[in-house]
Amino acid sequence: MKTGQARGIAEDWVRENASPEDWFLGAYFSGSIIELSDYDELPIGSDADLVYLNTF
C-alpha cells in the first residue's frame, strides 16, 4: 500500500469517527509515516501513528 493511501484511510476514519465528538479538537500524524512521501510503499508491519487533541 502506498503511504498516501494509508494516510487517506486514517484521515477518513478520523473524519467519520472522531471529529463529530465534542472532545475532538484535531489530529495529526506522528512517527515514521511523516518522513515518507505519498508515493512510497508503506513498509510491511508499519502503522500510521495519529495524535489526537482533545478537551480533556
Digit-coded pLDDT (tens) for 26-49 = 999 999 999 999 999 999 998 889
State the Cα–Cα distance between residues 54 and 47, nearest whole angstrom: 22
What is the H or E stretch that residue 39 is in? none
Determine the average pLDDT of the residues in 6-20: 96
Altogether, the residues listed in the chain come to a count of 56
Strands (E), the chain: 24-30, 49-54
Q: What is residue 42's DSSP assignment? A: P
**Residue 56 confidence (pLDDT):** 79
Cβ(24)–Cβ(18) under 8 Å?
yes
Number of domains into which the chain is organized: 1
Range of the domain at 32: 3-54
> What percent of the chain has pLDDT above 90?
89
